[in-house]
Chain A
Amino acid sequence: MKDCEKNPFKKIHIDREVPEEIKISVMKNITLIRLFGEITDLFSVKMGRTAMELLKRGKNNNF
């Protein structure tokens, strides 16, 4: 006798096909998260540089 034939828990198991729309939606969102992460990285590098330049400028100007 197969495992699923004697195990009632296995018989409860549902085996439906995953709708394609979920995959499309997941992929879209992962792309967005990646893009957002890259923008954040770029922004922090840019802002970091800007802050450093401001500090340097402040030193040179002797306000």
Chain B
Amino acid sequence: MLYDRYASKVYNKCITLTHDTEVAKDLTHDIFIKAFASISSFKGKSTFFTWIYAITYNTCIDYLRKSNMYVDTPIDDKNMPASNDEIDDGELMRVELDRLKKLLKDISTDDTIILFMKYQDGMTIKDIGEVFQIGESAAKMRVNRAKKKLIDLYNKRYRHSIYY
């Protein structure tokens, strides 16, 4: 059954995003009810995993917005021109765990979610685009921006400390 197959992934994702197991319980419940109620809207264009993840992420974002825990992307960043510089994944992989946790709290919620999708859930650019209802090139740009912001913040916060 769908519940047995996806409940663990949905529940744990809710905990990761809300940091609250009680809230995660309620959200998991709501996500499965929403999925059941809107199953007819699943057209099979994406995998079922992507479809249920889209509901999960959107439900969590709604909760974070209502609870004033949603960190919006600064307007300057939204207008930031697309960068062609590919950020090496190796740089991200070298970020220490405790530092990464702190950095993720200080970038926008959308950027955090995009990075989770790409590096925790292993979603493709196409799948990320489908969750955010944007094209592949826009999704690729947003992944790149999120990576850049995290690395920039990391460099600003920790790299200079080596010299002092």
Contacts and interface: CB of A to CB of B under 8 A. Distances in A.
B79 to A, nearest CB: 27
Interface size class for chain A? 20 to 34
Given A9-B116, A9-B119, A23-B3, A14 B29 contact: no
A18 B15 contact: no
Contacts, number: 64
Contact of A16 (B12, B36, B96): B12
Interface of B is mostly: helix
B7 to A, nearest CB: 5
A26 to B, nearest CB: 5
Given A14-B15, A22-B11, A26-B3, A8 B95 contact: yes
A22 B95 CA distance: 35
B33 interface: yes
Interface string B85-99: 000000011011100
Contact of A18 (B11, B36, B92, B93): B11
A9 B16 CA distance: 11
Interface of A: 6-19, 21-23, 25-27, 29-30, 33
Enumerate the 4 nearest inter-chain pairs by beta-carbon distance, A residue then B residue, closest first. Answer: A9-B119, A9-B120, A18-B11, A26-B32
Interface of B: 3, 7-8, 11-12, 15-16, 21, 25, 28-29, 32-33, 36-37, 92-93, 95-97, 100-101, 104, 115-116, 119-120
